[in-house]
């Protein structure tokens, strides 16, 4: 018997083998199906998927055996990974100097062997897809081709599992980072709310007490401080709502009437300008996440009011139920949105650049939060608009 030598790049090869995290793992149906199929095609009693480790041959799948590893120094696969041929065949191991007196030949009657190297994308042989028989024999051309083809599929499974594992690790890292960001945003936002409120109150107190001592420019500065504080406070509120949207979307569903919800939202908006809001003619009994839906509609109707330059604002709201979804449409006669801005309107921190009716610029948080909530509720949202004419938002949420 001759023990197999080590490849010249053994250190790198072993690193590749271990990068797949398959050593010492349990059998898997995908691999077992392949070894079972190969055994049938080649008409042999034993078929294996092996990984050649530093000092052992680990059997990821073993058809016809009841153990999952053997010493590397007696393995046929240790020799097979050294060969450049497409398939390594030993027709009668009893006559081959490399395998004479090999315990596998003597004790298991491993007489015939055929193995195809499992070569990964970096060119390293990780192990083999191989078959054994207890008698001397040959393989037909079609059997050889099948063995080579199935080895290719084994490598594909290796690579797919490695990619999936890496993607899961990246996903977990992103989730951890997002959670850290949410916590950071929550802490910072809450900590900033009180100082901003103090700035607003202080600016009012200064103007009330010292307005007569300040010139026009001084009073304008105080007003600027107050309005800037309000803007930053609104930004922080929007940021908190965005990062709390996951919690909002997970709240328990309720049963309620669609028009009751819409009327409550209109009251919350406390509209003090000339505005006509047309509610749906049909009142629908809904079962959905009321809090999330309220936040969605409150944001969209709020935008209809803010981004409207008409003397009389008109808002039309429609609500229907169809094929397991609630469908909403909210249209206005406002400023409209540029066509080249529509594709990015729901991206976080993206704004149209248009000032609202009070001369303020949006922060790009509200519509991103709306899109996030709609998606979490199993629906979709889209927007259409004509500049100077108005905008229509249409969204759906899944019926529970």
* Cβ neighbours around 303 below 10 Å, total: 20
**Do the beta carbons of residue 345 and residue 367 sit within 8 Å?**
yes
What residues are paired with 332 via a beta bridge?
315
Is residue 262 in some structural domain? yes
How far apart are alpha carbons 256 and 276 in whole angstroms? 24
Range of the domain at 286: 253-400
Percent of the chain, pLDDT > 90?
Answer: 64
Regarding whether 267 and 141 lie in a shared domain, the answer is: no
Regarding whether 150 and 38 lie in a shared domain, the answer is: yes
Is residue 368 in some structural domain? yes
List the one residue out of 39, 45, 138 whose CA is nearest residue 91. 138
CB under 8 Å to 283, separation ≥6 — which residues?
257, 258, 259, 260
In this predicted structure, the answer to whether residue 158 has a pLDDT above a threshold of 90 is yes
3-state SS, residue 78: helix
pLDDT band at 214, cuts 50/70/90? confident
Is residue 35 in some structural domain? yes
pLDDT at residue number 57: 95
Is residue 187 in some structural domain? no
Is residue 259 in some structural domain? yes
Regarding whether 140 and 282 lie in a shared domain, the answer is: no
Q: Final residue of a domain: which of 120, 149, 168?
A: 168
Q: Final residue of a domain: which of 113, 140, 168?
A: 168
pLDDT digits (tens, 9 = 90+) for 367-394: 998 999 999 999 999 999 999 999 999 9
Is residue 140 in some structural domain? yes
Looking at residue 130, which CATH number applies to its domain?
3.30.450.40
How far apart are alpha carbons 119 and 156 in whole angstroms? 10
> Cα–Cα distances in Å, from 216 out to 201, 211, 229?
20, 9, 20
User: Quick one: DSSP state of residue 355?
Assistant: B
Q: Final residue of a domain: which of 121, 141, 168?
A: 168
Regarding whether 271 and 162 lie in a shared domain, the answer is: no
Regarding whether 161 and 47 lie in a shared domain, the answer is: yes
pLDDT digits (tens, 9 = 90+) for 258-300: 999 999 999 988 888 999 999 999 999 999 999 899 999 999 9
User: Quick one: DSSP state of residue 310?
Assistant: S
Regarding whether 262 and 133 lie in a shared domain, the answer is: no
pLDDT band at 185, cuts 50/70/90? low
pLDDT digits (tens, 9 = 90+) for 221-259: 888 887 777 777 776 777 677 767 777 777 888 999 999
* Domains of the chain: total: 2
Is residue 238 in some structural domain? no
Looking at residue 311, which CATH number applies to its domain?
3.30.565.10
* Cβ neighbours around 77 below 10 Å, total: 27
């Amino acid at each position: 018997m001759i023990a197999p030598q080590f490849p010249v790049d053994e250190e790198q090869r072993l690193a590749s083998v271990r990068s797949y995290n398959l050593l010492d793992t349990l059998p898997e149906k995908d691999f077992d199906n392949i070894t079972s199929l190969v055994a049938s095609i080649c008409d042999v009693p034993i078929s294996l998927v092996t990984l050649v480790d530093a000092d052992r041959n680990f059997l990821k799948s073993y058809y016809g055996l009841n153990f999952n590893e053997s010493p590397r120094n007696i393995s046929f696969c240790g020799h097979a990974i050294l060969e450049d041929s497409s398939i390594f065949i030993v027709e009668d191991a009893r006559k081959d100097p490399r395998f004479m007196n090999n315990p596998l030949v003597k004790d298991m009657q491993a007489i015939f062997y055929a193995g195809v190297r499992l070569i990964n994308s970096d060119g390293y042989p990780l192990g083999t897809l191989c078959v054994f028989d207890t008698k001397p024999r040959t393989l037909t051309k079609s059997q050889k081709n099948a063995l080579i083809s199935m080895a290719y599929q084994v490598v594909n499974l290796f690579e797919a599992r490695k990619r999936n594992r890496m993607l899961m690790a990246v996903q977990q890292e992103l989730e951890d980072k997002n959670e850290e960001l949410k916590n950071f945003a929550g802490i910072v936002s809450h900590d900033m709310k009180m100082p901003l409120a103090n700035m607003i109150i202080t600016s009012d107190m200064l103007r009330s007490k010292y307005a007569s001592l300040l010139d026009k420019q001084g009073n304008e500065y105080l007003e600027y401080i107050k309005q800037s504080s309000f803007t930053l406070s609104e930004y922080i509120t929007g940021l908190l709502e965005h990062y709390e949207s996951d919690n909002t979307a997970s709240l328990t569903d309720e049963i309620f009437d669609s028009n009751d919800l819409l009327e409550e939202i209109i009251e919350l908006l406390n509209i003090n300008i000339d505005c006509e809001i047309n509610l749906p003619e049909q009142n629908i009994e809904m079962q959905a996440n009321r809090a999330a839906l309220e936040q969605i509609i409150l944001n969209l109707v709020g935008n209809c009011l803010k981004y409207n330059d008409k003397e009389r604002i008109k808002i039309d709201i429609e609500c229907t139920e169809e094929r397991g979804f609630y469908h909403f449409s909210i249209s206005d006669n406002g400023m409209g949105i540029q066509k080249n801005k529509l594709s990015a309107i729901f991206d976080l921190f993206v704004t149209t650049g248009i000032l609202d009716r009070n001369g303020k610029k949006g922060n790009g948080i509200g519509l991103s939060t709306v899109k996030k909530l709609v998606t979490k509720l199993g629906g979709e949202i889209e927007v259409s608009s004509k500049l100077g004419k108005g905008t229509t938002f249409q969204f759906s949420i899944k019926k529970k």
